[in-house]
Amino acid sequence: MRTAPNVIITGTPGVGKTVHCEQLAQDLGLKHLSINQVAKERDCYETYDDERKSWVVDEDKLLDAIEDEVLQGGYLIDWHACDLFPKSWIDLVVVLRCPSTSVLYDRLSSRGYHETKLQENLDAEIFGILLEEAREAFEEEIVVELNSEKDDDVDSNCARITTWVDTWKKTQAEQNAD
């Protein structure tokens, strides 16, 4: 049984997943698992998408690469998708949203996103695609939607997630004591 939860921090690119994970890792002592970084370091790619100017991740190879670590618990999983992860691995899914498309557009433009990729990500955010995927893949009670538009949203979101993690740990300790 895990003594620390696994939390997915997901959302379209530019909503603040990495910023949230870095702050939470520092505050909670959980490990930040950047899936983009893992895919690069462990060569978990299928192919390169010329139109979007990005690599396509081999999901099976990726899951095999992280399984042993994640099963131990205590990870903040940072990625734009969540529906590939087995339900048994995940205790909380946080979907970050940026309701202002102009803010999101500026964030993605500043990263130099190719126009096709930029528009796809804006559309995904407008239509709530990642939230819908999270709700379809996981039990409703573990999926939380948080806004990440203003600078102070990060602090308030991290405080909410910290409270949830503390409650999870307390509940696990009580269950283990019984």
* Beta pairing, strands 45-49 & 7-10: unpaired
Task: Check pLDDT > 80 for residue 99.
Answer: yes
Percent of the chain topping pLDDT 70: 100
Spans of all domains in the chain: 7-154
State the DSSP code for 76.
Answer: E
At a CB cut-off of 8 Å and minimum separation 6, what does 78 contact? 9, 17, 18, 21, 32, 33, 34, 35, 36
pLDDT at 100: 92
Q: What pLDDT digit, counting tens, does each position of 124-136 carry?
A: 999 999 999 999 9
Q: What pLDDT digit, counting tens, does each position of 64-96 carry?
A: 999 999 999 999 999 999 999 999 999 999 999
Homologous superfamily, domain 7-154: P-loop containing nucleotide triphosphate hydrolases (3.40.50.300)
Task: Check pLDDT > 90 for residue 49.
Answer: no
